[in-house]
Structure formats: structure tokens, C-alpha cells
Structure 1
Amino acid sequence: MEWRVLVTDDEQSIAGAIAYALTREGMQVETAGDGEEALRKIDAFKPHLLVLDVMMPKMDGYEVCRRLLQREDAPGILLLTVKNDIIDKVLGLELGADDYMTKPFDLRELVARVKALGRRLAKNAAPTAVKSVELGPLEVRLQERMAQLSGREIELTPKEFDLLALLATHPNQVYTREDLLELVWGMDYAGGTRTVDIHIQRLRKKLEPVGPVLLQTVYGIGYKLIEVK
């Protein structure tokens, strides 16, 4: 499959270097210089992947993520940031980014991250015989990538859905943080297990309104999703 990648960075030298490196890997690449241009090109170019700088004029990368959050056709997002603050990284992940890298970065690592993200997206997009999973009042519609509690849709980021879908399709199975990091984020992801804990906490709050479904911590091991009888 030939991946379409949109590289968005207001520094033309950086965008050009990334585009050149990805083109050499057989990907079809276009560039944008700010968030507004990126959104226009996403509609026209239909990229599978978006390499997105955070600090840009007109519209920053976080706002682009917000605009894409509710779109079913949103591309996978690799966020680039000059900040090394965990809060900034977590914000990007909460807004739907799939991965992040801090500037300055090694171009070879960025290419590897883009390829790893592409593999994960292809895996998640693969057809599945199971269309939905029901666990008490919780229904997870896998093909539609949506979840409901007692008939009401839960607002989930892409990674929150992936995490919930994995746990719901394997109820009562305990996953370590390392398991979840590899299965949901991919073995090439370098964000650390703290990312898993943060997403579990946010997902747990969204499941709290209905008691019979419990995202349970198995102390010293990891997490599992159970139905309380």
C-alpha cells in the first residue's frame, strides 16, 4: 500500500527534509505551512498519516487535532513539539494524536515512527468478523468505532476507543501496562507506561456513570474490564 502523508510545519527546511525522507520510503507526500492549510489539504489529499508541528502561525497543531477529533476519516497523527513537558505531550495524546516526537529529532527515527504508525493503522483497519461487543450496559461497535453506555454515546479519543475495544473484546483478561502499550500504541512507541495510566484514568471516568461495568486495577499487574453481576 502506498501511504499518503501530509507534513505540516512552518519551517520549510524541516518540512522539506521530512518529505524527502518519506518519499524515499515510497510514500506519497505533500506539505503544508500552517494548520489552516493542513485542514484544506486533508480534505483534498486525503492523507493516511499527518506529521504535525505544534507551534505554527494561524492555527497550531493542537487546534488541528481538535478539528479532526470527531472526523471518521481523520488521519493518524504524529505530533512534533519543541516542548519536552509531559503536560504538552499528554494534551496532544488526549486530543487524538497517536504519537509524538520532541524537536530536535533524528530523521531516521521519525521515518521509523511513521512506518510503525502506518502498520498500526492498517492493522486496526483490517476487517473483523466481530462487529460489536456487549458487556452489560456497555456496547462497543468495532466497525463504527463508537461506544455506548445504556444507549448513550461515549465521547472517546481514537486511543481511548482502541483501549476500550481491546479490553471489551477480552473481558476479565488482565493486561499489563506493557501489554497495553504494545497492543494499543505499538511496540515502537516511546511514550512510556505512564501514557497507559493516563488513558485508563480518563476511560474509567467515562465509564463511571454506569455501575455494572468496571475498569479494574489488578494491583502489581495491570488492568482488566469486568461486568459486575
Structure 2
Amino acid sequence: MSKKQLSILVVDDDQELRALLQRFLGEHGFQVRTAENGVMLDKALEREPPDLIVLDLMMPGEGGLSICRRLRAAGETVPVIMLTAKGDPVDRILGLEMGADDYLAKPFTPRELVARIAAVLRRLDPDRAMGRDELVEIGPFSINFSAMSVARGGQALTLSYREFALLAALARSPGRPLSRAQLIDRAMGRDAEVTDRAIDVQIGRLRKALGDDPQSPRYVRTVWGTGYVLANGSEP
């Protein structure tokens, strides 16, 4: 992680919560901006993209799910932590399907949010690259761990943070299947409360981002009874 002050954008319609999180996160070394809705979020992104967005699920007008889906559809890859009003698994799965990178159910303690933010940003650290290699080539894909970028046949691809984290975990074990539990551990951290179903959803998103055939994937393959494996596409 770089030594520059990392910026957080808190998007929530609750003014008191915005003020609380701005003060608390600021005390923990983050540069914090706030927005009360999607319109203000868009203006904030135009001025200066943050390192991470904390996004409330339930807001008047455009809700967090719609905002997250819109950002991902536009190619925005900034990590998003979704705040949900309850711990309903459906809400969590929907949030992940829309492209959120993590979630936190209300009510929560500010210290817990700091821990979640730190866990997500820690996984952006280029020092976690595979050994000393920065660039790995598997099949048609060139994966740059330090730059967190992927190209297929020389054509740059747009992946969300979570999609890249999953691809990186698979790329560190090319040809070797990883279980869903291993993917959760390596891509999201051991403290992540992520279900097997959520991993399956994210794998589907990763396949789409890579241009892999979801009906008969050549690269991100399912190993029944085990998990998933990254292949070079030459195997039958």
C-alpha cells in the first residue's frame, strides 16, 4: 500500500452517520469525503476518484445496488463496501452480484468498518504479487499483479477489484484447482464473511469479464467436487 493518504468516499443519506464516519475514519488516517446520494457521488468521482467507496444499500431515489451496478457497467473498478440495513443473505448476494467487493450489516461499530476497509485496501498492496514476478502469462492472458491489470491478446480488459482478486488467486496456482474456501481466503481474506454461492456468482462475473464462454469455459473451469482452476485453454 502506498504511503499517500488514502481517500474514502462515504455515500449515505443519513447525515449523522456521514459525519460520524468522516470523523472516525479521519482519525484513522484516511482522507474522507461524503455524499448523500448518487448524484453527489458522481460529482465527487468527477473531481477526484477515491481509493474506496463506502456505499449504503438503502437510500431514497437511486439505491446502493443500482449505483453499484451502474458504476461497474461504466467500467469503474474502485473497491466498494456496501452497507446493508440487515444481515439478510439475499442482500449480501445481490450486493456482490452488482459488483460490491465487501459488505457490512447495520448496525456496526466504526472500528469494524475500519477493519473491513483495511482488509480490502491491504489486498491492493503490490507487494503481495506472486513472488518477485510482476507479469504472468497464462494462455492468451497477461496478468500484471503490480498494476492490477489484465490483457487478452494484447487487448486490455476491465475487471473490478474483486474479479481481479479472484483471477490473481487462481493465477498463483495455475493448473491447480482451488476450493471455494481457498478462494475466499486468498482473494478476500480469512475474515471475509462470504458464502460459496457468492464465490460462484463472482466466478461467473470473472468469466464474463475475461470473455470466457459461461456454458463451456476454457479458462476459468469448474472442477466438480473441488472448486475452480485457471487453465491455458489448450486442454480439451
TM-score by length of 2: 0.79
- 2:92 is equivalent to residue 89 of structure 1: yes
What corresponds to 2:112 in structure 1? 109
Structure 1 position 15, deviation (Å): 1.1
Alpha-carbon separation, structure 2, partners of 1:16 and 1:153: 39
Is the 2:148–2:164 Cα contact (8 Å) retained in structure 1?
Answer: no
Letter in structure 2 aligned against 1:131: L
Structure 1 position 141, deviation (Å): 4.0
Structure 1 position 67, deviation (Å): 3.1
Among 4, 23, 27, which residue is 1:20 paired with? 23
Is the 1:140–1:168 Cα contact (8 Å) retained in structure 2?
Answer: no
Structure 1 position 100, deviation (Å): 0.5
- 2:34 is equivalent to residue 31 of structure 1: yes
Among 139, 142, 145, which residue is 2:141 paired with? 139
What are the equivalent positions in structure 2 for 1:167-178 lying under 5 Å apart?
A: 167-178=170-181
Is the 1:94–1:157 Cα contact (8 Å) retained in structure 2?
Answer: no
Alpha-carbon separation, structure 2, partners of 1:153 and 1:115: 28
What corresponds to 2:219 in structure 1? 213
The aligned length equals 225
**1:2-35, Cα deviation, whole Å (9 max, x unpaired):** 1111111110111111111111111111111111
Letter in structure 2 aligned against 1:40: K
Q: Which deviates further from its counterpart, 203-212 or 100-109?
A: 203-212
Alpha-carbon separation, structure 2, partners of 1:211 and 1:118: 30
Alpha-carbon separation, structure 2, partners of 1:57 and 1:66: 16
Alpha-carbon separation, structure 2, partners of 1:6 and 1:125: 25
Is the 2:77–2:160 Cα contact (8 Å) retained in structure 1?
Answer: no
Structure 1 position 39, deviation (Å): 1.5
Is the 2:38–2:62 Cα contact (8 Å) retained in structure 1?
Answer: yes
Q: Percent same amino acid among aligned pairs?
A: 35
Alpha-carbon separation, structure 2, partners of 1:214 and 1:27: 36
Structure 1 position 194, deviation (Å): 3.3
What corresponds to 2:200 in structure 1? 197
- 2:230 is equivalent to residue 225 of structure 1: yes
Q: Which deviates further from its counterpart, 198-207 or 27-36?
A: 198-207
Structure 1 position 169, deviation (Å): 4.6
What corresponds to 2:182 in structure 1? 179
What corresponds to 1:62 in structure 2? 65
Alpha-carbon separation, structure 1, partners of 2:183 and 2:59: 32
Letter in structure 1 aligned against 2:149: R
Letter in structure 2 aligned against 1:35: G
Give secondary structure in 2 for the equivalent of 1:14.
helix
Q: Which deviates further from its counterpart, 92-101 or 56-65?
A: 56-65
Structure 1 position 213, deviation (Å): 3.4
Structure 1 position 131, deviation (Å): 3.3
Unaligned 5+ segments in structure 2 are none
Structure 1 position 196, deviation (Å): 1.8
Structure 1 position 56, deviation (Å): 1.6
**1:159-209, Cα deviation, whole Å (9 max, x unpaired):** 233323432453212222222112111223122343223323554576336
Is the 2:212–2:218 Cα contact (8 Å) retained in structure 1?
Answer: no
Alpha-carbon separation, structure 2, partners of 1:211 and 1:58: 38
Is the 1:80–1:102 Cα contact (8 Å) retained in structure 2?
Answer: yes
Alpha-carbon separation, structure 2, partners of 1:188 and 1:33: 29
RMSD: 3.1
